Amino acid sequence: MKTESPGDVRAEAIARELRQRLPLLETGVALNHAGISPQPESRSIAAFEESRARLLPGEGLARFSGVRDEIRRLYAELLHVSPAEIAVTRHTAEGVNLIAQGFPWRQGDRILTVSVEYPSNVYPWWNLRDRGVEVVPVPEREGRVDLDEFVGAIDERVRMVAISHVEFASGFCFDLARISDACRACGAFLFVDIAQSIGILPIDLGLVDAAAWPTWKWLMGPIGMGGLYVAAKRLESIRPSFVGSDGMVPTADYLDYRFEFRPDAGRFEYSTENVLGLIGVAEALRRFTPLFANDAADAAACRVWKLGDTMTGRLEERGFWLYSSRRPGERSGIFSFVTPGNPAQTAARLRRSGIEVAVRSGRLRISPHFYNNEEDVDRLLSAL
């Protein structure tokens, strides 16, 4: 009999707690965590709302004044970096733009990327083309990017490599260690969109120079919140695009103007944040950070892969074909299927049955989380 690891036990406990806090499971099933996750019921947000109604505004806010610092600490623990390298943002796009607009570009620089990136990791780079910066995409073929081809395209002309750790449509997962080695050999800056891996796959951001993410996908946090990582060695090379009092070294008097950026990634946090959002992010991170401790790093992903394999086998019996890579090291929480019929009609039929999936690149994308179970898969198959 196989003995459960501490990670498995922890994942099971968190999964049970999540299911208890998701009333939607009484009537529906969320299988689109790569899009928008359901947000569990929150006691902390309710407590803040009550304090806002009962206390003087300043007193109510003071009770939650340390939340942003807590978020930096929890992000850092989750991602194996320093809190000083973390900034709290509103979404992935804000982080991408901060890097794109703050980088010291030169005429003729190249950005190497992938042909199937999510728009938030495309348009900020395209916005640099009028500065003489060239964006060069490497194609994805049959659900994967050939790493030999991609690494071979990183040369002295490439100043920036901008990829997603997990591609949003196919679910292809990059080998960050190999990409990092190639970038360092050529002196290229490595930026990674981790929207589709944070909260489901182990990530070591020590391999990259900068990364951005949202909180409403696999972290199951609030919409309109996110994060940015900038390696300490790269902080001085990225000029803040937006400036305000929060990004400056604090002074005793608002009128004591000193244009002096904070020495850490807090320089990118230029003004007052959405406090409700901060509280929701902190609550999500308190739940997920223990799941990615060293003895549990693979537990969430392994639960999803096991469930996904069961789901894939049953769907293939019905004529579906898994487009996503099954190769070791290239799997993620995204299962992209070529459908026997119209995928949009299939997704619409599932939604009418209370099951949410997505259609991306003409394929049915199903993205279960580690709290989903075989009962949820049964409901999916029954609805089909």
Position 72 scores a pLDDT of 97
- What is the distance between the alpha carbons of residues 307 and 366, in angstroms, rounded to a whole number? 11
Torsion, Cα of 106, 135, 329, 11 (10° steps): 80
**Locus of tokens 């804000």:** 94
Quick: pLDDT tens for 218-256. 999 999 999 999 999 999 999 999 999 999 999 989 999
| Residue 173: C-alpha distances to residues 56, 168, 197 (Å) | 49, 10, 9
Lowest-confidence region among 36-50, 199-213, 218-232: 36-50
The DSSP letter of residue 89 is E
For residue range 297-314, list pLDDT tens digits in order: 789 999 999 999 999 999
**Strand 226-230 to strand 321-322: parallel, antiparallel, or no bridges (unpaired)?**
unpaired
* 365 DSSP β-pair partners: 336, 358
- How far, in Å, CA of 170 to CA of 192, rounded? 17
pLDDT at 6: 75
Domains in the chain with CATH codes: 6-39+296-383 (3.90.1150.10), 58-292 (3.40.640.10)
CA-nearest of 76, 66, 122 to 96 is 122
The three-state secondary structure class of 279 is helix
Strand, coil or helix: what is 114?
strand
Distance from the Cα of residue 218 to its chain's centroid: 7
Provide the phi-psi class of 199: left if phi over 0, else alpha when psi is between -120 and 50, else beta: left
pLDDT for residue 351 is more than 60: yes
Phi-psi region of 283 (alpha: psi -120 to 50; beta: other; left: phi over 0): alpha
Q: Closest Cα to residue 331, out of 151, 166, 114, 163? A: 166
Concatenate the DSSP letters of all residues of 151-179 into one string: HHT--TTEEEEEEESB-TTT--B--HHHH
What is the pLDDT, as a whole number, of residue 60? 67
Residue at 376: amino acid letter: D
- For the cut 80, the answer to whether the pLDDT of residue 64 exceeds it is no
d(CA 166, CA 172): 5
pLDDT at 294: 65
3-state secondary structure of 191: strand
Say which residue the tokens 């900038």 belong to.
Answer: 230
**Rounded Cα–Cα distance for residues 298 and 7 (Å):** 8
Alpha-carbon dihedral of residues 47, 50, 56, 58, nearest 10 degrees?
Answer: 30
Q: In this predicted model, what pLDDT tens digit does every residue of 119-136 receive, in sequence order?
A: 999 999 999 999 999 999
275 Cβ contact partners less than 8 Å away, ≥ 6 residues apart: 48, 61, 64, 67
Residues with Cβ within 8 Å of 96's Cβ and at least 6 positions away in sequence, in order, are 120, 121, 124, 125, 162, 191, 193, 212
Angle between helices 275-288 and 43-54 (to 10 degrees): 150
Sign of the dihedral defined by the CA atoms of residues 268, 271, 277, 283, in that order: positive
Dig out the tokens for 382 from the structure: 């029954």
The helix (H) or strand (E) run that includes residue 201 is: none
Structure token pair of residue 43:
């006691």
Mean of all residue pLDDT scores within the chain: 94
* DSSP summary character for residue 192: E
pTM for the full predicted model: 0.94
Q: What percent of the chain has pLDDT over 90?
A: 85
**Poorest-confidence range of 6-10, 34-38, 264-268?**
6-10
Cα of 61 vs its chain's centroid, Å: 28
